[in-house]
Chains A and B, each alone.
Chain A
Amino acid sequence: MPADGLNERPIRVVLAKLGLDGHDRGIKIVARILRDAGMEVIYLGLRQTTASIVAAAEEEDADAIGLSMHNAGHLALAPKMLAAMHDADLDIPLIIGGIVPDVDIPVLTDAGVAAILGPGAPAEEVVAAVRNAVSR
């Protein structure tokens, strides 16, 4: 039996960095924020591929995938991630954080990214972005 307060099924989120981008401070903080909001964070860390992220999301039965992107590759990498998810019939939301210039945001949301957060996003916003994306 789950202990008191734990009987609700926690949201499970896979968090990863794609490719060679080594900025992992943000994603580590996000992992901690989501943990403290009661979520189960499956932390994959650096140097992941679209294939390794899809495999992890399948095995972990994740409710969402979160990517952190700082190397200006988001316009190529986010659609690639979405395509890999689509090919695997993985119908869960993709959320992105990190450095995404304002002009690129509509491009990515049109492509199917559920939410995009930038530097300084407070904890409540990070949590709300994941909750909203999952319940949609």
Chain B
Amino acid sequence: MSIGNLSIDDLMDAGLAGNRRALGRLLTMIENGGAPANDIANRSHRAQRGAPVIGITGAPGAGKSTLTGQLLRRLPALGLRPAVIAVDPSSPLTGGAILGDRVRMDDVAGDNGFIRSVATRGHAGGLALSVPGCARLFDAAGFDPVLIETVGVGQVEVDVAGAADTTVVVVNPGWGDAVQANKAGLLEVADVFVINKADRAGANDTRRDLDLMLDLSHVSGLHGEYRPPIVMTTATDGEGIDALWDAVEAHRNYLNHSGELNRRRKKRFRFEVASRMNDQLAEIVATLTDSTIADDDRSPAEVSRELLERMLNPAHERLR
């Protein structure tokens, strides 16, 4: 099928029926943003099925893609049809990117899976802005689960925790010690820990440091009744992948029976509404003239409050 001049209607029909090219094109439209992206988001939302969304994050080279490739290889045998959103960074200088995560995933899932490489396109935080929209489309098209691989992250890029139901944090032996393990950020958002490259020296030390950190989290009450498990893997030979999937499923069960899934999804919805309103307000403000906005007598706080009041109260004169 040639998709060159299909409408969004036709693309959605074909995409939700499983046509790869249509899905590929819809994902591009989501990435490019604007009105078509919103249209696709609305339609995907109404067709949502609630597939689990699993984030896989960790430092550059930790083995995220290799692990994801192993999951892709196994999940179809369990009757699942996984989709992967693999994010790699765009150059801040040229906007170009080498999207190399697929190299580690081969074409293993074939017709039983779908891999899309996504560049960050200037967005910090470890994901691209389009990722939630892409995940929603995959869900609507019947993919289950949706796996999101972040860029290689440091300690603070934790966007993935807001986009996924379950966040898997991948570390390696020798990546730090008990001090790193207790710093705020990445490790706090883990629902499952993976110590990948367990074939290397120091895996047991890393396990001990993480365990001690989790003990302290328990003392301070960070995770409530749930204690994130630690799974040891050697992604290159598939060692520990079954245990990783079991841990992800166990977290899923916890999310379901504790009501936490509902809470997370509501929170995510609220967050997305807020960030969209943010974007829309920024667009409106960008259209206002300097004389409407800048004022020697009033501070930015006062001007913004007044503008908002005028917008929210239709009895007032309309903006500009």
In the complex, what's the smallest C-beta–C-beta distance from A22 to chain B, in angstroms? 14
A10→B119 contact, CB < 8 A: yes
Q: Take A5-B95, A6-B121 as given contacts and tell me if A43 and B2 are in contact as well, using a CB distance cutoff of 8 Å.
A: no
B residues less than 8 Å from A136 (CB atoms): none
**Interface with B: A51-59, A100-108, A117-125, which one?**
A51-59
Shortest CB-to-CB span from A1 to chain B, Å, is: 7
Contact with A along B304-316 (1 / 0, CB 8 A): 0000000000000
- Measured between alpha carbons, how far is A48 from B106 in the docked complex, in Å? 8
- In the complex, are the beta carbons of A6 and B102 less than 8 A apart? no
CB distance from A35 to the nearest CB of B (A): 4
Provide the residues of chain A in CB contact with B90, threshold 8 Å: 6, 40
**Contacts A6-B90, A89-B2; is A59 near B99 (CB within 8 Å)?**
no
Q: Which residues of A contact B282 (CB under 8 A)?
A: 1
Q: Which residues of B contact A (CB under 8 A)?
A: 1-2, 4, 20-21, 23-25, 27-28, 32-33, 90-92, 94-100, 102-103, 106-107, 110, 114-117, 119, 121-123, 129, 279, 282
A interface vs B, CB < 8 Å? 1-3, 5-6, 8-10, 12, 31-32, 34-45, 48-49, 51-52, 55-56, 58-61, 88-91
Min CB–CB distance B311 → chain A (angstroms): 20
A and B contact pairs by CB, cutoff 8 A, 18 listed? A5-B95, A9-B28, A10-B97, A36-B94, A37-B96, A38-B96, A40-B90, A40-B96, A41-B99, A43-B98, A45-B100, A52-B106, A55-B110, A56-B102, A59-B24, A59-B115, A60-B117, A90-B21
Known: A43-B100, A61-B27. 20 other contacts (CB 8 A): A1-B33, A1-B279, A1-B282, A2-B33, A3-B121, A35-B91, A35-B94, A35-B96, A35-B98, A37-B94, A37-B96, A38-B91, A41-B97, A43-B99, A44-B102, A49-B107, A56-B102, A60-B99, A61-B21, A88-B21
